[in-house]
Structure 1
Amino acid sequence: MSNSDFRDQLYARRQDRIDSFTFDERVAAVFSDMISRSVPGYASIIGMIGIMARKHALAGSNLYDLGCSLGAATVSMGREIADRDCRLIAVDNAQAMLQKAGEQFSLHDLPSVEAVCSDIRDVDISNASVVVLNFTLQFLALDERLPLLQKIRAGMLDEGVLILSEKIAGEDEQEDALLVELHHAFKRANGYTDLEISQKRAALEEVLVPETIAMHKRRLHEAGFKRVDLWFQCFNFVSFIARP
């Protein structure tokens, strides 16, 4: 298979009906290209997750990548903590994504990663020093987000951290319109057409529900995290580090 086969062209042709976005085999095949061309700063976020894991991972503890997709965050953490006795647990409910993730774990010599095909809401969280939700929470219904964060906090060590990356909404209509405009400009600069941008947005509309930075911070505090810091933002993509 040539490299061109892995380019994201899922929405390049006009579609009569736009189905809701799902992480199926077609998405898994092009996901690496899709996310690098769609999420500004994604590579930097992945690299910094590894660095933060090295700083906060405790020997004998568990590290979770919840909604691991192709396993990029897991690989980043695994490479940084190879000298520690930690347990890496990568969770995704899409078998096609998890299969590709397993290939990455083997490629980067991380055979000890525990890959779990499950809904992240059903996974036991315990003895956790690092938990990653990298553009995952946004796919849950609004009323399911706080219970998951509370569950994570309950299973986290007092010295642990949660790294939460999300696509956000602006604090008002003007800010939101600006962030969306800049994001679309970023996608056009990476080769996406207006048709692709429009159809992808329609597919995600009922699946991915963004919230404001303020809402995320309030919810994290309500879930039991005492310190919440925004460490990354590029347009409408952010990442927080939350500590008990």
Structure 2
Amino acid sequence: MYDEGHALVCQLSDFFLRSDSLCYEIGTSTGELMARLVDHNRHKTGIQFVGLDNEPAMIEAATGRQRPGDPVSFELTDIVFKELDPCDLIVAYYTMQFIAPKFRQAVLNKLYEALEWGGALILFEKVRGPDARFQDINNQLYTAFKRGNGFTGEEILNKSESLKGILEPFSTEGNLDLLRRAGFQDIQTVFKYVCFEGFLCIK
């Protein structure tokens, strides 16, 4: 599923990145998705890719992944305080859910303002169910999914405990409300698997 999401982001980039475009990835992590985006768009001239993350270890890993001559740079920064240059594409791949809710609207406002007209935000998020019944179904399906991918019950529990107070996903409608308040009107779900959703938001 993670690999399919990366492939979809690369395919979507075809519609927004052209020669001399600027692309940001918010929460670049180890740089795996950024490396794929660079490779996918290598035939275009003058594109610049910038990966942002607030964890030094992630920036180090991402920098180590890039190849000499790649048009990509990585910056240790907090998107809450970072000013962005005008750009054609912003990717936030399971990142907004880790930003404190009190800052989330301001960050999305900033992303919208940075985009050129016709540019896009590709936003992937873990989403809550619309009510307790659906959330319970989602939790059980996600636990089964993780077990099917080789995780033990103890590993699943430990991961859940480690994310308490850190991972704070919103519902689909909650995310849409944030996006609309930021200024996005043209929004489409491009990926959906139980509690994971990808939105394409065009300015």
TM-score under structure 2 length normalisation: 0.95
Deviation at 1:91, TM superposition (A): 0.7
| Distance change >3 Å, CA 79–CA 110, structure 1 → 2 | farther
Match of 2:87 among 99, 113, 128: 128
**Residue type matched to 1:88 in 2?**
F
Separation in 1 of the partners of 2:159 and 2:166? Answer: 11
**Residue type matched to 2:42 in 1?**
A
Cross-structure match for 1:44: 4
**Residue type matched to 2:61 in 1?**
K
Q: How does 1:66-105 map to 2 (within 5 A)?
A: 66-84=26-44, 85-105=46-66
Separation in 1 of the partners of 2:69 and 2:146? Answer: 32
- Structure 2 gaps of 5+ residues are none
Separation in 1 of the partners of 2:40 and 2:71? Answer: 14
Task: State the identity %.
Answer: 25
Cross-structure match for 1:221: 180
Cross-structure match for 2:21: 61
Superposition RMSD on alpha carbons, in Å?
1.2
DSSP 3-state at the match of 1:122: coil
Larger proportion of strand: 2
- After superposition, the C-alpha distances for 1:72-102 in whole angstroms (9 at most, x for unaligned) are 2211211121122211001111111111111
Cross-structure match for 1:160: 119
Q: How does 1:137-176 map to 2 (within 5 A)?
A: 137-176=96-135
Separation in 1 of the partners of 2:21 and 2:85? Answer: 9
Q: List structure 1 segments (4+ residues) > 4 angstroms apart after TM superposition.
A: none
Separation in 1 of the partners of 2:54 and 2:69? Answer: 20
Deviation at 1:110, TM superposition (A): 5.5
Cross-structure match for 1:15: none
Deviation at 1:104, TM superposition (A): 1.7
- After superposition, the C-alpha distances for 1:18-49 in whole angstroms (9 at most, x for unaligned) are xxxxxxxxxxxxxxxxxxxxxxx111111111
**Residue type matched to 1:132 in 2?**
V
| Distance change >3 Å, CA 110–CA 78, structure 1 → 2 | farther
Q: How many pairs does the alignment contain?
A: 202
DSSP 3-state at the match of 1:185: helix
Deviation at 1:71, TM superposition (A): 1.1
